[in-house]
Amino acid sequence: MGKKNTERNARLDQLRREQKRKERRRALLIYGTAGGVALVLLVGIIIYAISDNNAKGKTRQVGYVASGSSAATAAGCTGTVNDASQGSTHVTTTVDYKASPPSSGSHNPDPLPDGISFYNPRSKIPVERAVHNLEHGFIVGWYDPSLPADQVAKLKSLAADAGPRFIGVPWTRGNFAQGKHFVLTAWDRTQRCTTVSADVIKDFVAKHANPDPAGATWDSPTAPESGAQGGTLDVSADGPLAAAASGSATPAPGSGTMTVAPSNPTPAP
């Protein structure tokens, strides 16, 4: 009996050892699989973070073009381009801008005022003053002399509902290139269109009006004085508009628009 008990106990011990080995292998398999999954997830997160940062970096680079929407395509618009900064010096002289129209650059110290959403074709509003509004986070919708009258009327109507940071301004220095007669600009952002579109204006304003001032650290900065107010309503002969407008300006009551009526001011001595 003693020998049989010894053999039986030896077999039981062997079975127990084999069972423990199986349990260890199973545990290693479970933990190894879980660890592998966790590692794959970690690597995936790292790759996503790197890709996301690279993508964001790309969208902030000068020359990047953001794809236009279907509404933009229908209106004959290009994508929105990140423009190179042209500076922000205050001047009281006429500026020969490199781009037509500019999205940054030297500008008049006095921006256009708040509360006027549209300027008529003959208003002779100085470009330099509107560029200052861009620096403050405004959106300027420029229209050239070849934009059809019905499109100008449409822009005037849309400007009234585009929000307090949108201004429609005539471009009086010739026609825009490539048949684009309506151009939206934010500070260092440009989208060129053939026709006026409510959806395009709304989308551009939503994306680029009053941007985060942190954008000023990007390669293509966005409105370093974002959120600042407009300027004065002074359009007298010796006021901010004197260099470009030989007349007096009177806002139409309740219209949110301004027309400069021709006159013959006495030249300053």
Let me know: does 94 contact 173? Beta carbons within 8 Å: no
- Examine residue 126 and say whether the peptide bond preceding it is cis (omega within 30 degrees of 0): no
pLDDT digits (tens, 9 = 90+) for 192-222: 999 999 999 999 999 999 998 777 777 777 8
Q: How confident is the model at residue 256 (pLDDT cuts 50, 70, 90)?
A: low
Which tokens belong to 218?
């990007």
193 within a domain of the structure (yes/no)? yes
Residues 98, 178 within the same domain: yes
Q: Is 165 helix (H, G, I), strand (E, B) or coil?
A: coil
Last residue of a domain, one of 35, 59, 83: 59
Residues 90, 140 within the same domain: yes
146 within a domain of the structure (yes/no)? yes
DSSP assignment of 84-103, as one string?
A: PP----B-SS----SSSS-S
144 within a domain of the structure (yes/no)? yes
Q: Once rounded to an integer, what is the mean pLDDT over residues 177-201? A: 97
Residues 250, 236 within the same domain: yes
Show Cβ contacts of residue 1 under 8 Å, excluding neighbours closer than 6 positions. none
Which tokens belong to 210?
């009053």
Strand partners, 249: 260
Range of 43's domain? 1-59
Whether pTM > 0.75 for this model: the answer is no
Residues 29, 94 within the same domain: no
pLDDT at 143 over 80: yes
Q: How far apart are CA 41 and CA 38, in angstroms?
A: 5
Rg (CA), the chain: 32
Residues 87, 219 within the same domain: yes
pLDDT digits (tens, 9 = 90+) for 71-102: 999 999 999 999 999 999 999 999 999 999 99
Residues 166, 106 within the same domain: yes
Residues 52, 121 within the same domain: no
Whats the size of the chain, residue-wise?
269
**Number of domains the chain contains:** 2
pLDDT, greater one: 188 or 243:
188
Residues 25, 98 within the same domain: no
End-to-end CA distance of the chain: 135
